[in-house]
Amino acid sequence: MIWPYYSLISLGLAAAAPFLLWREKARAGLPQKLGRVPKRIGRVASKAEKRIWFHTVSVGEFNATYPLLEAFRQSHPDYSVFISTATATGQRLAEEKVGDWATVFYFPFDLPWSVKNWLDAIKPEAVVIAETEIWPGFTYECKKRGIKLCIVNGRISPRSFKRYQVISGFINGVLARFDAIGAQSEAEAVRYRTLGANPDAVVNCGNMKIDGIRTLSTEGQSQLREDLGLSDEFVIVGGSTHEGEETALLAAYNAQKPPCRLILAPRHPERFQRVCDLVEANGCRARRYTRGDRFEQPNDIYVLDTIGQLMAFYSVGSVAFVGGTLAPIGGHSLIEPFGYSIPVVCGPYTEKTRDVARSLLERRALIQVQDATQLAQQISRLAANPNERLRLGATGRTYLNDSQGAVNRTLLLLNSLLETPAQEVEEARPKQLLHGERA
């Protein structure tokens, strides 16, 4: 059944060729995606005795996997690590974070010649895939070569689960190829088993994004507030926002009594200028991170026009709105603001982080709204109730601390897959990653 799949993928790629060539974002890494292996990577692979390939699609997946990468590096120094991403932003982040000790490249299109070139060049002992990437062709070619396959921080949203059930006869065979699957929760583990994964291969390891949260020290938080020109104002931080959500946050900001500040962090770089234009259209002045701006005038609104700084900026917030939840995206990380005990508000669309949202709601640690009107109402309520903000933030932080350990469990899973001694991993456990406290 793999060749009909390859035919469909080939036709789809041919149809998308004008788009891939026209859009700069889509052209990123195109030669590598089509199977061209740079000579430097081939040389590195040929000299390595043991090789492992980690795939993290973009920024979110890389950030979630980063603590595992560091822990694996410490516990398995004899392995050469190869890391692929599918996006330019993910590629830049990976190069910045691990480029000095790992080989970073673009993941190939799921076509036989593209995949073959990379697998033949790297010859990995195992391929470790983060979260949701399930490529039929790639997994087929791996199993042909006897390469072990593992999913870490695995998740299948309820929406994706329903879609996969429609093609269950096909997807069952794909999931059965995986030697190990570390799921984010027991609910995710059940979905994997239901869709055909080997029940014995699926383990509930927990969510590595929780382990991966790194907070600023108290001194760092104070310095950032000073750099931004903030004192004791009520600060709204809109993180990973999408189209329509900045407008809702601007309305919520307009409804507050001064002094109030708003920081907007759009999810995608191509929307940075669009968000600045929205700020100006609101009668405010857009201040930008990349220009080194700070708050000065009462109507200043700050646009975080960069990637990788959002976690730090949550530290200056009084309340955080997590994006992709009013827009029908499925939600981004609901837990990051709790690293600083910041209360979190989100919209109704939390499919991508459903289990975390459910746990937070059960603990009464999360405020979920249905629309922009309710968002403004809840932010106004929190602005007027500092004790409620403290309660929400503290409850969410407790959940965060109670949920640690996923990196350790995932590392042990990889250790078992690679058949290395368990004691070696136990001695290399990563340290607590939550450093700073709420200033």
- Please give the chain's pLDDT, 439 residues, in tens: 687 887 887 787 777 666 666 666 666 788 999 999 999 999 999 999 999 999 999 988 998 899 999 999 999 999 999 999 999 989 999 999 999 999 999 999 999 999 999 999 999 999 999 998 889 999 999 999 999 999 999 998 888 899 999 988 889 999 999 999 999 989 899 999 999 999 999 999 999 988 878 899 999 999 999 999 999 999 999 999 999 999 999 999 999 988 999 999 999 999 999 999 999 999 999 999 999 999 999 999 999 999 889 999 999 999 999 999 999 999 999 999 999 999 999 999 998 888 889 999 999 999 999 999 999 999 999 999 999 999 999 999 999 998 899 999 999 999 999 986 544 444 333 333 444 433 3
Q: Where, residue-wise, is CATH 3.40.50.2000 in the chain?
A: 218-401
Give the ranges where 28-130 is alpha helix by DSSP (H). Answer: 30-33, 39-47, 59-75, 88-98, 112-122
pTM recorded for the entire structure: 0.77
Pick the CATH number of 2-206+406-426 from 3.40.225.10, 3.40.50.11720, 1.10.287.110, 3.50.50.60: 3.40.50.11720
- Rounded to whole angstroms, the Cα distance separating 50 from 79 reads 5
CA count, 13 A, side-chain hemisphere, 136: 18
Which of 299, 348, 339 is closest to 320 using CA atoms?
339
- Rounded to whole angstroms, the Cα distance separating 108 from 128 reads 15
| Residue 231, φ and ψ in degrees, nearest 5 | -125, -100
Q: Where, residue-wise, is CATH 3.40.50.11720 in the chain?
A: 2-206+406-426
* Active-site annotation holds for 61: yes
What kind of fold does domain 218-401 have according to CATH? Answer: Rossmann fold (3.40.50)
Residue 301 burial (CB count, 10 A): 24
Which of 122, 126, 149, 152 is closest to 136 using CA atoms?
149
From the candidates 24, 49, 61, 133, which is the catalytic residue? 61
Structure tokens at 300: 């200043």
